[in-house]
Chain A
Amino acid sequence: MEKKVMTVREAIKQAMTDEMRIDETVFLIGEDVGIFGGDFGTTVGMLEEFGKERIIDTPISEAAIAGAAAGAASCGLRPIVDMTFMDFVTIAMDAIVNEAAPMRYMLGGEVSVPVVYRCASGAGTGAAAQHCKALESWFCHIPGLKVVAPGTPNDIYGMLRSAIRDNNPVIYIEPKALFGRKGEVVLGEDNIIPIGVGEIKKEGKDVTLVTWGRMLERGLQAAEELEKEGISVEVVDPRTLVPLDEKLIVESVKKTGRLVIAHDSFKTGGFGGEIASRIAESEAFDYLDAPIYRVAGADTNIPSAKNLEEVVVPNVEDIKNTIRKAINKN
């Protein structure tokens, strides 16, 4: 088993590169993916290896990029779209939501649409309201799409490889603030992480914390710090939002009797509400000893200045405080 310490940025590039080496139908398309190496540096050197036939720089035309990728996918290719900032997906929504997502359904199940839309999500870079949103819940709402939101370099590698192999349109959410974060990554076929399978990132017995993407790191830190206070937190990372590994969450909540959900996307209409509802409707409800709590991005536009930006996204203290609240409700 080959292991390597790499950044999130490098893990993304490695996953795409490894898939492109073994499957010639895979190609990368988007703004600045070629000579520039990607707007977040996730494609550096890929042009040199694969050439401009497979690393396709585009005009600034998100609607056409997203639509063309869906069209090419339905013709037997496997495009990876670099949407760059997730906010720009707004311009591509028709192509993704009205074309890619229902295409198989509306064509009698006769075609598949294996396309990955890579979206750099979330705040932390000071880029403000038009460049910092985490919009995953929009896509969780749309049948026909899968939504993948890993939070560690290893998962980011393994799940991107799975997303590229998947025969459906996949919204692949990259935690923008963590592009430089390093971690150990298992490379190759030993690390093809199936979509729809979550993972318990830390076992615990007092409270379940469900979190993903950028918030996973903060959730784990909060759990570690609370351990010192005698609060044992089980951290459940669904890794995929659609399809959701609901069973993993249900079993954890049955064990701990408490549930806190942390995400960086806006609280209202955020995916945390969906998870809370599902648990409320599940067999785990009878095991709850406290209300379900969400700690999420504030319902405000996202500011640029560092001190302002920091208060609109949950930090470790916010997560700890919410967990304490759940623990104190007996």
Chain B
Amino acid sequence: MGNYSKNLTKEQHLEMYEQMELARHFDLQLSKLFARGLVHGMTHYSVGEEAANIGAIYPLRKTDLMYSNHRGHAQTISKGIEIDRMMAEILGKATGQCKGRGGSMHVYSIENGNMGCNGIVGGGHGLSTGAALAQKMKKTDNIVVCCMGDGATNEGSFHECLNMASIWNLPLIFLVINNQYGISMAQKDCMKVEKITERAAAYRIKGIHVEDGNDVLAVYDAMNEAIEDARTGKGPVLVEVMTYRWFGHSASDPGAYRTREEVEEWKKKDPIEAYRKVLTKKKIATVAELDAIREKSIKEIEDAIEFAKNSPFSETHVAFEDNYAD
């Protein structure tokens, strides 16, 4: 364990583990609902990326702000949200946070500092830069995390915002969950750099690369280092976490661009199983305790689905509301 994870309490370990199980089963169950035609809209699963997402978001304070992307369910669960309402939102129901207007790519929880997932690749770059500028101007000690995938680092706004955050020394972490494919295009085909953190040098900001992003504690340690820098005025940090999505880009992706062998290899590196091994080997928790948390998580997701299914759809006037503030 690293400098930060060595200080985690049992309770914190189990909380992170629980979030990973919740994220896993949220998406697994959602994929079944999608297959049954209950999800009207796109949805992007992060099954296989739980360590990368939870390890990175868990260390944030509630008052820190997070801007997520289209693959934001796990990050959202970690930052804090009412899961039953989140499921309702994705199923388009009135009890969802956005009353069904948002769907999967727009889950959020303002009270927990989740400023929203985002359907535009790179859409959060500018927003998070401005949010970080606002924290600095208002002299809060909150930091901002801008979550993205590897593909988003080829957007122009990525480079504009890294530069801007650098010159203004903003309390901002650019978090790249690198699952190695931008929909179908492999990272090696769309950029010459081997590590995305190499790009940090161009803006003279710190880059932290996590080679095993399926090791939740490695991610946790890296992110804490970045958080400490950002919170203590040392400026922005680019964090890259290597991982892999087990499913296609979206629910409608047959995955022709990856071999079955490659996917199977990564499934062997299951981040949840890896964490269970650490927790039992270090005698932090027993298998029975972990199994109980898994069962509880599955039950919570099933309850969320029941809640969502039993919720009504919004009245149609909702489609026309909240375009403008008074």
Contacts and interface: CB of A to CB of B under 8 A. Distances in A.
Bound pair (A, B): yes
A200 interface: no
A22 interface: no
Interface in A90-116: 94-95, 98-99, 103-114
Nearest to B166: A59
B4 to A, nearest CB: 27
27 contacts: A59-B163, A64-B125, A64-B126, A64-B163, A67-B130, A70-B130, A71-B127, A72-B130, A73-B130, A75-B130, A75-B135, A76-B138, A95-B127, A99-B126, A105-B101, A105-B323, A106-B101, A106-B116, A107-B108, A108-B102, A109-B322, A112-B325, A113-B325, A114-B325, A143-B323, A167-B325, A167-B326
A59 B161 CA distance: 10
Interface in A52-106: 53, 58-59, 61, 63-77, 79, 94-95, 98-99, 103-106
A61 B163 contact: yes
Given A58-B164, A71-B129, A104 B323 contact: yes
Contacts of B131: 71-72, 74-75
A27 interface: yes
B160 interface: yes
Q: How big is the B interface, by class?
A: 35 or more
A53 B161 contact: no
B180 interface: no
A211 interface: no
B99 interface: yes
Given A99-B127, A107-B98, A68 B120 contact: no
B156 interface: yes
Nearest to A79: B130
Interface string B118-141: 111011011111111111011000
B110 A70 contact: no
B323 A144 contact: yes
A65 B325 CA distance: 22
A69 B130 contact: yes
Nearest to B97: A108
B264 interface: no
B126 A98 contact: no
A95 B161 CA distance: 12
B25 interface: no
Contacts of B128: 71
B99 to A, nearest CB: 7
Contacts of A99: 118, 120, 123, 126-127
B5 interface: no
Interface of B: 65, 67, 97-99, 101-102, 106, 108, 110, 115-116, 118-120, 122-123, 125-135, 137-138, 156-157, 160-161, 163-164, 167, 321-326
Contacts of B138: 75-77
A168 interface: yes
Interface residues of A, number: 42
A108 B123 CA distance: 18
A144 B160 CA distance: 25
Contacts of A103: 116
Closest A-B pairs by Cβ, 7 of them:
A67-B126, A71-B130, A68-B130, A109-B322, A71-B127, A64-B160, A75-B134
B46 to A, nearest CB: 20
A76 B115 CA distance: 13
Nearest to B136: A53
B98 A68 contact: no
B126 A95 contact: yes
Contacts of A114: 325
Give the residue among A27, A75, A104 with the most B Cβ atoms within 10 A: A75
